[in-house]
Amino acid sequence: MLVPTLIAIGTFVLGLVLGALGGVYYLKNKMQNMQMSDKEIQSMARSMGMNLNQKQLMQVSKRMQSANNNKSSKKKK
């Protein structure tokens, strides 16, 4: 009676751990491939209390693109 209960609990815990690790892996890959438009960047900055002018917006866009390019080039190696 005790052994099936322990097996069930162990299986449940293992499923939780593997599910969490799978979720982290999936989200990490999605975040690396994410690209944002200028409107999305502007709205995100406004939600943080910042108002970006056009020059700042272009700088943020370039930084995001270079960060994505660096991550993808490291992945290929």
Which residue, among 51, 47, 45, has the nearest Cα to 64 in the 3D structure? Answer: 45
Work out how many domains the chain is built from and give that number: 2
Arithmetic mean of pLDDT, 47-63: 90
pLDDT higher than 90, residue 61: no
Tell me the average pLDDT of the chain. Answer: 86
pLDDT in tens, 7-22: 999 999 999 999 999 9
User: 33 CB contacts (<8 Å, ≥6 apart)?
Assistant: 68
Q: Are residues 30 and 5 in the same domain?
A: yes
Arithmetic mean of pLDDT, 28-42: 82
Q: What is the pLDDT of residue 72?
A: 63
Residue 77 lies in a domain: no
Which pLDDT band holds residue 60 (cuts at 50, 70, 90)?
confident
Q: Are residues 29 and 2 in the same domain?
A: yes
Residue 23 lies in a domain: yes
Give the range of the structural domain holding residue 16, as residue numbers without chain letter.
1-34
